[in-house]
Structure 1
């Protein structure tokens, strides 16, 4: 009889996990609190499938910049100075991970490169249209210091299997003619791509349903428990509370995973790092012609872009450490609009849709993929700023962990009865 796994969370990691598990023959139920999958952090991110952005943040320069920016409301990185035990413990572990900066950057690049094949194959197999654009990603730098650091990062990315090339200011202009401004240099990664994460997540969720995954939308998870052989989930739906039982559980609940992991006896030190985006509607031919086709990353402002079809342009970035807070602050959105006005003055920015999401970030910047303490508990979460980029390969890895763990669980459970 098939083992029945429950996946908690219908964002990109939950949906890819459900897809990978049902492909391996598991019976799968996916529980999502919103009306549709992909409505929170997987709704309006920067849209990049960016192996070139695999550099982890655990570098001394991050601390220096964070301290410098602390009192600037429009800074790329902003931290609420009010101390909490969660924030302090996360920061301590973040600094403790700094000696692993090189190794973790290389490992992340390797994962990102491997993830591509799965993303592209799944989209093709399931006929998912998600405004996919394979025009590469251009990182540009306004000074020599940033460009030189990028050169060192490129060496690490190359060790992870990702080639990218340095480009001159003239080449930047040739790669993306719509970009205004003067720049010191850049790095271009032809193999990177962009798309609409929400369309991809929703499309893959529909594919999951066709394959037999049961999706329980608008079900809020109140509590979880497991004893090694069974997993128990208490949910609230339409004002009613229900208790569901499964053979195993996979936690893909983003920033809410920390609370669920504690109930399952595991420590999952995820911190919610808020990011903002704007989706600029391009209402006329002039705006559409003035918007870039190539995806960009501006190193100084830490903003990324993606072109979503003919009539939408997404700009995203910033990192805000302020707990479970989804307020959309005008003083954080305005710099994104000003950046568009400065770099792409031909775009009409009257119709801009702001958004904020919480990245689930581990202190070492690596996702948590694998088993928990209980034999039938598993995790696929903590992907930080590379949730979409890494989601396909981590789902593939997760399926391997579940296959091995549930097989061992069955054997250990049956042995006493057959002895």
Structure 2
């Protein structure tokens, strides 16, 4: 049985471990945390959203970013302090504008393919994760925003997505809890939401039932690969250990850049911070007032998910501030205010804040496939769509590895 090491137990690492275990591989997963899904896969916006597949590489994003630089509560915030990595990443990001259409269409196709894989494995392993298959409603306050969304919608349609414009009255019929006045919206009935943390923990347990080994609290300080295999070296407190395997898959989120450098690969991932709040719906009035249909408010770049009867997840913002996980009140406050303005009957007396780092490549496309060495693979850099794309990229990288094995066995039998 072939042995494979996976670095990272977030959503991409665990889906990859599961895909490989189902193909008969012996898998060991390393993570620096004590449990799976404790970093970026802990409390994201909850959307499984092909409708959010538009990559950010366009001139409008640049203009908005420059306009928002001096606003602490801006949806997109760039810390202007000097950083070689940040500014070289931004330069590559600008260079990818020419691929905006192609990458948006390709991401849409990946997102549509991913949802079926995810639903199938959730059913197979009986994973409960507060799934809501009520669609996602994008709302627009102005004609200008709606017209811009109409142009984006043409690309999503080319990618195969069923997404349609809706009038204010149709929006209210879809989600009666809406209070604000909107110019119009777009509705994607096939999109859904769920709790990424519950899903990843449930899938990790399924992996263990299939023989996957998890090594938690492991700080990776060395990794090398040659024709004889892959060696990973890690620390657990004062103990230093190492493990050898035939292959390795790097699924380490924002840590992938550091791991890749040990292996001679350049993976240009920047940590783009996002924030969320989980509003505890502790009374019947709040439960009735909070929306069931997932929303994306274009003006504020805020997304929502209803997680069961008693939780309402609200997330947003993009902050370019290095590998900084601090939870800033000036970034949380706009999320709370948005809830109070949009759904005034929802109590915000109990709100749990969170911040996580999205691993973003300059092209906004995930890095999936081989490294320079034939026994090193990557499944990382999914940005704001890790939850949405994870199930299909895990299958993609597992298929590449399985195909390699098939070719090797064939060549040996011929010889």
TM-score relative to the length of structure 1: 0.97
Q: Is the 8 A contact 1:229 1:375 kept in 2?
A: no
**Distance apart, 1:169 and its partner CA:** 1.1
Show the counterpart of 2:375.
376
Show the counterpart of 1:300.
299
Q: Is the 8 A contact 1:376 1:405 kept in 2?
A: no
Deviations 1:374-411 (A, max 9, x none): 01000000000000100000000010111234555778
Give the SS at the match of 2:372: coil
Show the counterpart of 2:44.
45
- Cα distance between partner residues in 1 of 2:95 and 2:267: 16
- Cα distance between partner residues in 2 of 1:66 and 1:239: 44
Give the SS at the match of 2:386: helix
Q: Is 1:311 the equivalent of 2:273?
A: no
**Distance apart, 1:239 and its partner CA:** 2.5
- Cα distance between partner residues in 1 of 2:299 and 2:76: 11
What is the correspondence of 1:60-99 to structure 2 with a 5 Å cutoff? 60-99=59-98
- Cα distance between partner residues in 2 of 1:238 and 1:63: 44
Show the counterpart of 1:4.
3
Show the counterpart of 2:284.
285
Q: Is 1:59 the equivalent of 2:53?
A: no
Which has the higher mean CA deviation after the structures are superposed, 225-234 or 203-212? 225-234
Deviations 1:75-127 (A, max 9, x none): 00001101211111111111111011000000000000000110000000000
Q: Is the 8 A contact 1:138 1:187 kept in 2?
A: yes
- Runs of 4+ residues over 2 Å off in structure 1: 404-412
Deviations 1:39-65 (A, max 9, x none): 100000000000000000001100000
- Cα distance between partner residues in 1 of 2:181 and 2:107: 31
Q: Is the 8 A contact 1:376 1:409 kept in 2?
A: no
- Cα distance between partner residues in 2 of 1:394 and 1:161: 18
- Cα distance between partner residues in 2 of 1:341 and 1:274: 23
Show the counterpart of 2:343.
344
- Cα distance between partner residues in 1 of 2:227 and 2:60: 43
Deviations 1:174-221 (A, max 9, x none): 111112111110000000000000000000000000011111122221
**Distance apart, 1:33 and its partner CA:** 1.3
- Cα distance between partner residues in 2 of 1:127 and 1:38: 18
What is the correspondence of 1:226-265 to structure 2 with a 5 Å cutoff? 226-265=225-264
Q: Is the 8 A contact 1:228 1:377 kept in 2?
A: no
Residues 275/409 of structure 1: CA separation in 2 closer, same or farther (3 Å cut): farther
Show the counterpart of 2:34.
35
Deviations 1:340-385 (A, max 9, x none): 0000000000100000000000000000000000010000000000
Residues 151/14 of structure 1: CA separation in 2 closer, same or farther (3 Å cut): same
Show the counterpart of 1:218.
217
Q: Is 1:143 the equivalent of 2:142?
A: yes
- Cα distance between partner residues in 1 of 2:383 and 2:227: 29
Q: Kindly tell me the number of residue pairs found equivalent between the two proteins.
A: 415
- Cα distance between partner residues in 2 of 1:313 and 1:39: 19
Question: Which stretches in structure 1 are left out of the alignment for 5+ residues?
Answer: none
Which has the higher mean CA deviation after the structures are superposed, 313-322 or 151-160? 151-160
Residues 226/313 of structure 1: CA separation in 2 closer, same or farther (3 Å cut): same
Show the counterpart of 1:266.
265
Give the SS at the match of 1:97: helix
Show the counterpart of 2:17.
18
Which has the higher mean CA deviation after the structures are superposed, 187-196 or 82-91? 82-91
- Cα distance between partner residues in 1 of 2:23 and 2:147: 45
Q: Is 1:190 the equivalent of 2:206?
A: no
Give the SS at the match of 2:127: coil
What is the correspondence of 1:153-232 to structure 2 with a 5 Å cutoff? 153-232=152-231
- Cα distance between partner residues in 1 of 2:151 and 2:134: 24
TM-score relative to the length of structure 2: 0.98
**Distance apart, 1:172 and its partner CA:** 1.3
- Cα distance between partner residues in 2 of 1:229 and 1:150: 52
Give the SS at the match of 1:119: helix
